[in-house]
Amino acid sequence: MRGGSDLNCQNLREIMHSYIDRELGVAPAAEVERHLEQCNECDLIYRGQIALRSSLQDPSFYYRAPADLKKRITSYFQKRAEASQQLTAPAQPKLREN
């Protein structure tokens, strides 16, 4: 660890994503911020993670599924449900015709 923070580099790297996602409480987040102010290496890693996160939110990464995909998926599961019902439905007694 570099600087005077109680949080060491390894521990910070284990909770960095929680910090980025704002999942840490006030005190742990403040400790992370102090460490980042004092440790150039961890700050560089943090900035890299922020840049990566920002890049991944670019609209060019969005893939629009084919329009008929929902219809195909629904149809597939409907057919499976019907087949399953046929297998588990009690057999109907056959009436004899005279």
37-47: buried (b, 16+ CB within 10 Å) or exposed (e) per residue? eebeebeebbe
Alpha carbon distance 16, 13 (integer Å): 5
Name the domain count of the chain: 1
pLDDT of residue 21: 95
Q: What is the pTM of this model?
A: 0.57
Question: Is residue 70, in this structure, part of any structural domain at all?
Answer: yes
The two three-digit tokens of residue 22, written as one number: 């704002």
Question: Is residue 51, in this structure, part of any structural domain at all?
Answer: yes
pLDDT averaged over 10-residue windows placed end to end, the chain, 98 residues = 67 96 96 96 97 89 85 93 77 64
Q: How far, in Å, are 14, 95, 97 from residue 3 at the CA level?
A: 18, 88, 94
Instruction: Print the domain residue range for 19.
Output: 1-88
| Structural contact between residues 46 and 16, judged by C-beta atoms closer than 8 angstroms | yes
Question: Is residue 41, in this structure, part of any structural domain at all?
Answer: yes
Question: Is residue 96, in this structure, part of any structural domain at all?
Answer: no
Question: Is residue 94, in this structure, part of any structural domain at all?
Answer: no
H or E element in which residue 42 lies: helix 40-56
Question: Is residue 61, in this structure, part of any structural domain at all?
Answer: yes
Q: Is 36 exposed, middle or buried (0-12, 13-18, 19+ CB in 10 A)?
A: buried
